C-alpha cells in the first residue's frame, strides 16, 4: 500500500498503532527509552485506516496487525518480535543509526 | 576281607601306603572306583571353574594332566581367578552405567507423556468451557475453566519439583552432558507449558489470573502483570552461577534489557488502567440503571493481550539466559530457580502456620 510504503521509506523508525492499543503504547515507550523517536502513526485516526489495517498483514504483520514496527523501511514485526530482539541484544544495533545523542 | 586285615597287620612298609593300598585291597572293583572317582571329581570341579570364567581361560585340561597341574601350579589358578573377578567387576560397572542412562531416558519419556496428558486434559476442559452457545452464560462457564486451571497449575508445580530433583541427581552423577542437556530441555519445555496454561486461563478470566490468587501469599508479593518479573528472577539466579567474564557481561545486559521491557509493559498497563477507569466512569447511561459496557469490556480484552505479552517476555528471558550458559551451568541455574520458588512457597506455608499458633 502506497501510504505505508511512503511513510516507511521516508522515516527511519515507524510504528503503526491504534490509539486504543496498550501494547502499541508499550512499544513506543520502549523505543523512547532506547533514545529513539519513532514516527507513531495511529491508523484508527486515519480515514484510510481500514485499508492500512488490511495491508499490514500482507506486509507480513499478521496477528495482530498493530503494533507494526518498521526500521529502515523494513518490517521488523509486532510486539513479540521487538521483545525477542531486545532481549537477545539485537534491537539496539538495528536502532543505532536512529538513536539521538542525548 | 581276611586277606586285607592280614596284610594290614603284617607289613610295616605297607603302613606308609596304607590309605591307597587299603583301597586297592578291597577289591579291584571298589578300589578302582574310588581312585578314579576322586580323580574324576577333581577334573569336574576345575571344569566348572573354567566354565564360570567368561572370556579368559581357554585351556582344555585333560584328565591325565589334571592331577599334575593341580599339584604343581596352584599360583596360576589364583591369578586366573583374580583376573576373572576384575573382568566381572568391569562388566558390572559398565552394565550399571548403561542402566542409569536407560533409566534417565525412561524418566524423560514418562515426563513427556505426563505433560502431553496434562495439556490434553486442559485443552479438553477449555473446549468444554469455551463452547459457544453454552446455555449457562458467563457465570457457569468461568468457574469450570478456572477450576481446570487450578488443577493444572497444582500438577505443574508438582512436576516442577520432580524435575528440579531430577536435575539435581543428574548434575551430581557422572553422566555425560548429553543426558543433562535432555533434562535441561525438558525443564525449559515445562516452563513453556506453564505459559500455555496461563494463556488459556487469561482467555477464560483475565481478572482472576492477574490477581494472582492462584499463587501462594509470598509469591504474590512479587507479582507483576500476573507472574514473576524476569529481571528479578535473573538477579536471584545469576549470582549463584560460576560465570566467565563474557557471560557475566551478557547476562548483565540481559537483565537491563528485561528491565526496559518490563518498564514499557508496566507503562502499557498504567495506560490501560487509565482508559478502563475512564470507560467505566464515563459510560453512557442506557436507562433503567444500565450502562454501556462495550468500551470497558474492550479494555479487559486488551488486558488479556498484555498478560500474554508479559508471559512471552518471561519465556524469552529464560530462553535467552539458557543460551548464554553451558549445559552444566544451565542445569545449575534451573535447579536454583526451582529451589527458589519452592522455598518461597514453603515460606508462605510457614507464615500461615505462624499466624495460626496460639498467642
Q: Which residue of A has its CA nearest to B317?
A: A87
Domain around A55: 1-96
Identify which has the larger pLDDT, A63 or B230: B230
Cβ–Cβ under 8 Å, residues B348 and B216: yes
Q: Name the nearest CA neighbour of A89 among B221, B317, B312.
A: B317
Query: In this structure, what C-alpha cell is assigned to residue B180?
Result: 543433562
Hey, of A26, A40, A92, which one would you mutate to test binding to chain B, going by the most B CBs within 10 A of its CB? A26
Question: What is the per-residue pLDDT for B64?
Answer: 47
Question: What is the per-residue pLDDT for B34?
Answer: 43
pLDDT tens digits, one per residue of B23-65:
444 444 444 444 444 444 444 444 444 444 444 444 444 444 4
The answer to whether the CB atoms of B260 and A33 lie below 8 A apart is yes
Cβ–Cβ under 8 Å, residues B282 and A35: no
Whose grid coordinates read 553422566?
A: B175
A-B C-beta contacts closer than 8 Å: 67
B316, part of any domain: yes
Distance of alpha carbon A79 from alpha carbon A46, whole angstroms: 22
Secondary structure element (H or E) that encloses residue A49, with its range: helix A49-59
Q: Name the nearest CA neighbour of B197 among B306, B310, B299, B120.
A: B120
Query: B136 pLDDT exceeds 60?
Result: no
Question: Above pLDDT 70, what percent of chain B?
Answer: 70
User: Which among A21, A26, A87 is the nearest to B258, CB-wise?
Assistant: A87
The answer to whether the CB atoms of A20 and B298 lie below 8 A apart is yes
Query: B211 pLDDT exceeds 70?
Result: yes
Distance of alpha carbon A50 from alpha carbon B150, whole angstroms: 40
pLDDT tens digits, one per residue of B214-231:
999 999 999 999 999 999
Domain around B236: 144-351
Range in A5-9, B135-139, B274-278 with the lowest mean pLDDT: B135-139
Whose grid coordinates read 534491537?
A: A91
Q: Report the side by side order of strands in the sheet with A39-42.
A: A39-42, A13-17, A68-71, A74-77
Give the Cα-Cα-Cα angle B244, B246, B250 (nearest 5 degrees). Answer: 120
B64, part of any domain: no
Cβ–Cβ under 8 Å, residues B168 and B292: no
A68, part of any domain: yes
β-pairing, B285-287 vs A68-71, is unpaired
Question: What is the per-residue pLDDT for A59?
Answer: 81
B298, part of any domain: yes
Cβ–Cβ under 8 Å, residues B26 and B7: no
pLDDT tens digits, one per residue of B60-104:
444 444 444 555 567 889 999 999 999 999 988 888 888 878 877
Question: What is the per-residue pLDDT for B310?
Answer: 98
pLDDT tens digits, one per residue of B276-327:
999 999 888 888 878 888 889 999 999 999 999 999 999 999 999 999 999 9
A61, part of any domain: yes
A25 vs B: CB within 8 A: yes
Question: What is the per-residue pLDDT for B36?
Answer: 44
Distance of alpha carbon B314 from alpha carbon B304, whole angstroms: 16
Question: What is the per-residue pLDDT for B265?
Answer: 98
Query: In this structure, what C-alpha cell is assigned to residue B15?
Result: 603302613
The answer to whether the CB atoms of B306 and A22 lie below 8 A apart is yes
Q: How confident is the model at residue A102 (pLDDT cuts 50, 70, 90)?
A: low
B36, part of any domain: no
Hey, of B249, B254, B257, which one would you mutate to test binding to chain A, going by the most A CBs within 10 A of its CB? B257
Q: Which residues of A touch B260 (CB under 8 A)?
A: 30, 33-34, 86
User: Which among B250, B263, B313 is the nearest to A83, CB-wise?
Assistant: B313
Domain with residue A25: its CATH number is: 3.40.30.10
Cβ–Cβ under 8 Å, residues A21 and A70: no
User: Which among B253, B306, B316 is the nearest to A23, CB-wise?
Assistant: B306
Please give the tally of structural domains in chain B.
1
Distance of alpha carbon B298 from alpha carbon B281, whole angstroms: 15
Strand partners, A74: A71
A101, part of any domain: no
Chain B nearest C-alpha distance from A66 (Å): 12
Distance of alpha carbon B74 from alpha carbon B79, whole angstroms: 9
B172, part of any domain: yes
A39 vs B: CB within 8 A: no
A102, part of any domain: no
Question: What is the average pLDDT across B241-260?
Answer: 97
Question: What is the per-residue pLDDT for B313?
Answer: 98
User: Which among A26, A34, A87 is the nearest to B268, CB-wise?
Assistant: A26
The answer to whether the CB atoms of A80 and B312 lie below 8 A apart is yes
- On the CB side of B359, CA atoms within 13 Å amount to 0
Chain B nearest C-alpha distance from A27 (Å): 7
Question: What is the average pLDDT across A61-83?
Answer: 91
Question: What is the per-residue pLDDT for B288?
Answer: 82
Question: What is the per-residue pLDDT for A1?
Answer: 81
DSSP string over B164-190: HHHHHHHHTTT--HHHHHHHHHHHHHH
Tell me the backbone φ, ψ of residue B147, rounded to 5 degrees: -60, -40
B135, part of any domain: no
B2, part of any domain: no
Q: Name the nearest CA neighbour of A13 among A39, A51, A48.
A: A39
Calculate the average pLDDT of chain B.
Answer: 79
A54, part of any domain: yes
Question: Which 3 state secondary structure label does DSSP give B102?
Answer: helix
Q: Name the nearest CA neighbour of B101 among B177, B163, B161.
A: B177
Neighbour-count burial of B178, counting CB atoms closer than 10 A to its CB (0-12 exposed, 13-18 middle, 19+ buried) = exposed
Question: Above pLDDT 90, what percent of chain A?
Answer: 71
Question: What is the per-residue pLDDT for B134?
Answer: 36
A79, part of any domain: yes
In terms of residues, how long is chain B? 359
Question: Which 3 state secondary structure label does DSSP give A76?
Answer: strand
Cβ–Cβ under 8 Å, residues B267 and A26: yes
Q: Hey, what long-range contacts does B136-143 have (CB within 8 A, 24 or more apart)?
A: B141/B204, B142/B204, B142/B205, B142/B208
Please give the tally of structural domains in chain A.
1
B110, part of any domain: no
Chain A nearest C-alpha distance from B312 (Å): 7
Cβ–Cβ under 8 Å, residues B110 and B116: no
Amino acid at each position: 500500500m502506497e501510504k505505508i510504503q511512503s511513510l516507511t521509506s521516508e522515516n527511519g523508525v515507524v510504528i503503526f498503532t491504534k490509539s486504543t492499543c496498550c501494547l502499541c503504547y508499550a512499544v513506543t515507550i520502549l523505543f523512547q527509552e532506547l533514545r529513539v523517536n519513532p514516527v507513531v502513526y495511529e491508523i484508527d485516526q486515519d480515514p484510510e485506516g481500514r485499508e492500512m489495517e488490511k495491508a499490514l498483514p500482507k506486509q507480513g504483520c499478521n496477528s495482530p496487525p498493530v503494533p507494526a514496527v518498521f526500521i529502515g523501511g523494513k518490517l521488523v514485526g509486532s510486539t513479540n518480535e521487538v521483545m525477542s530482539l531486545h532481549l537477545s541484544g539485537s534491537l539496539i544495533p538495528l536502532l543505532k543509526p536512529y538513536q539521538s545523542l542525548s | 576281607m581276611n586277606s586285607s586285615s592280614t596284610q594290614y597287620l603284617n607289613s610295616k612298609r605297607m603302613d606308609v601306603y596304607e590309605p591307597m593300598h587299603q583301597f586297592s585291597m578291597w577289591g579291584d572293583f571298589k578300589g578302582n572306583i574310588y581312585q578314579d572317582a576322586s580323580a574324576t571329581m577333581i577334573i569336574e570341579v576345575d571344569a566348572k571353574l573354567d566354565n564360570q570364567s567368561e572370556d579368559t581361560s581357554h585351556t582344555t585340561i585333560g584328565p591325565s594332566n589334571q592331577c599334575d597341574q593341580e599339584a604343581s601350579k596352584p599360583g596360576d589358578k589364583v591369578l586366573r581367578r583374580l583376573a576373572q573377578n576384575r573382568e566381572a567387576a568391569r562388566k558390572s560397572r559398565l552394565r550399571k552405567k548403561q542402566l542409569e542412562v536407560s533409566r534417565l531416558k525412561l524418566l524423560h519419556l514418562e515426563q513427556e507423556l505426563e505433560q502431553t496428558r496434562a495439556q490434553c486434559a486442559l485443552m479438553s476442559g477449555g473446549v468444554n468451557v469455551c463452547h459457544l452457545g453454552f446455555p449457562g452464560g458467563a457465570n457457569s462457564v468461568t468457574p469450570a475453566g478456572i477450576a481446570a486451571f487450578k488443577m493444572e497449575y497444582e500438577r505443574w508445580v508438582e512436576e516442577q519439583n520432580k524435575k528440579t530433583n531430577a536435575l539435581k541427581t543428574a548434575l551430581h552423577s557422572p553422566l555425560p552432558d548429553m543426558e543433562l542437556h535432555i533434562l535441561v530441555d525438558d525443564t525449559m519445555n515445562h516452563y513453556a507449558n506453564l505459559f500455555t496454561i496461563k494463556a488459556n486461563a487469561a482467555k477464560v478470566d483475565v481478572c482472576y489470573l492477574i490477581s494472582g490468587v492462584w499463587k501462594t501469599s509470598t509469591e504474590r508479593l512479587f507479582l507483576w502483570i500476573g507472574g514473576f518479573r524476569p529481571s528479578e528472577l535473573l538477579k536471584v539466579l545469576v549470582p549463584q552461577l560460576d560465570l566467565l567474564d563474557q557471560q557475566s557481561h551478557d547476562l548483565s545486559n540481559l537483565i537491563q534489557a528485561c528491565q526496559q521491557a518490563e518498564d514499557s509493559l508496566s507503562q502499557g498497563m498504567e495506560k490501560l488502567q487509565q482508559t478502563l477507569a475512564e470507560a467505566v466512569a464515563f459510560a453512557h447511561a442506557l436507562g433503567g440503571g444500565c450502562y454501556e459496557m462495550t468500551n470497558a469490556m474492550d479494555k479487559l480484552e486488551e488486558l488479556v493481550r498484555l498478560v500474554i505479552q508479559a508471559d512471552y517476555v518471561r519465556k524469552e528471558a529464560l530462553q535467552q539466559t539458557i543460551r548464554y550458559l553451558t549445559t552444566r551451568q544451565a542445569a545449575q541455574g534451573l535447579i536454583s530457580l526451582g529451589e527458589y520458588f519452592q522455598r518461597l512457597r514453603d515460606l508462605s506455608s510457614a507464615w500461615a502456620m505462624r499466624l495460626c499458633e496460639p498467642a
